[in-house]
Amino acid sequence: MTTMTEASVREFKMPDVGEGLTEAEILKWYVQPGDTVTDGQVVCEVETAKAAVELPIPYDGVVRDLHFPEGTTVDVGTAIIAVDVGGGSAAPAAEQPAAVPPAAAAPAEEPKAAGSGRQPVLVGYGVATSSTRRRPRKGPDVPVQQASTAIQTELNGHAPVAPPVPEAAAPAAPAGTERPLAKPPVRKLAKDLGVDLTTVVPTGPDGIITREDVHAAVAAAVPVVTEPQIAPAPAAVQAPASYDTARETRIPVKGVRKATAAAMVGSAFTAPHVTEFVTVDVTRTMKLVEELKADKEFTGLRVNPLLLIAKALLVAIRRNPDVNASWDEAAQEIVVKHYVNLGIAAATPRGLIVPNIKDAHAKTLPQLAESLGELVATARDGKTSPAAMQGGTVTITNVGVFGVDTGTPILNPGESAILAVGAIKPQPWVHKGKVKPRQVTTLALSFDHRLVDGELGSKVLADVAAILEQPKRLITWA
């Protein structure tokens, strides 16, 4: 049995996802002590306050120790797994020496880190150093900003590197005939997030744009909505030691549930909510849904009433653009959005999440159907990314799937309106002067009364109802 040396132990730390989160819960370990791991192999799944993600290990070796069991919430920067990278086999758990503290192991790791050249990433494989020499890029050189890479490298278990020498910030090179250097997965990520790669400052080797560079560009472009400070809640009263576990169950509040609770309390006590209701005959809309299902343009796509309700809301926003806005408390300004990122509230086993369809206003009906299908499938599988839940402008919540008539929805923080859709049921309805059974539903629109007056909110709700009653208005009004 090979004896492991302290210098051969690498500590993999909980990485920073770059979304302002400070902790994550370990949901599941995919490896155990003694298992062999390879660079880029997923070793565990963690849940942040926004999503569940998988973490890959950034080096080869044998798992020496798992520092935390499943279900533990760990702060960012804390070592969670020790790996022997010296090529030796793992010793039994009883014979293994104590895990080397990160501070002691770091100096011995410095030579490896300096030549590693792999960019740690949260999900998927890191960016390996190119083994070939690239032709120098034309135009003035762009200084490589390595500060963020150095911090992430240390968090992922690499040795700390010397801080970069401060230098004057240089403007990015102007776009020329050269195509920005980026690997296909990074180009796809930039396309999905609407990022122009020519505007991104690269930090990878040889001037390659990395995933972190794209996310940094998104973070710089999205305005941060500052919310007023909420008075701290009183200290939780510890449950009595004698409480009856057979009659009560206490569930720790963490992860998505904790984030949702904080967001709803902040929204409810920050934005003055007003909710209006309307009951509408959607018989024609239901007939159109059945016709679209048979249309070859929608082959393979999921067509349901939510698709037409979403399109109706988008048309109503186009007719009443001032409703698509947010309140900037710090600047004392109303920010009117000229795009619609349409949020869809989704109930998942981990709690309520609200991913959104980017630039939904620019999509055709088949494109909107495709985006809705992808959003629902990703949420159901628990793979919704944090980026997919950022930047929403308005939201739809379909409480009708639970058989209820309607509700008074709470605004998603930073948004001005949310539409609740009730169950669609056959009801007696006066149609052309006669009482007939018709398909009827109730809509509820909650809006932020600081920036949406009653008249504007009423017009939006009335337009949605009018389109669902006469879906041909999707054409005449659009």
H/E segment holding residue 106: helix 102-116
First-residue to last-residue Cα distance in the chain: 73
Cα 217-334-51 angle, rounded to 5 deg: 45
CA distance 292 to 394: 25
DSSP H or E run through 312 = helix 305-319
CA distance 35 to 18: 29
Integer-rounded Cα Rg, in Å, for the chain is: 26
449 is known as an active-site residue: yes
The closest alpha carbon to 421, from 432, 407, 437, belongs to 407
From the list 211, 199, 235, the residue with the least C-alpha distance to 126 is: 211
HSE-CB for 70 with a 13 A CA cutoff? 9
CA distance 5 to 10: 11
CA distance 129 to 417: 47
- Grouping H, G, I as helix, E, B as strand and the rest as coil, residue 351 is strand
Q: Of these residues, 67, 215, 431, 449, which one is catalytic? A: 449
Name the residue among 143, 61, 148 with its Cα closest to residue 105.
61
Active site residues: 449
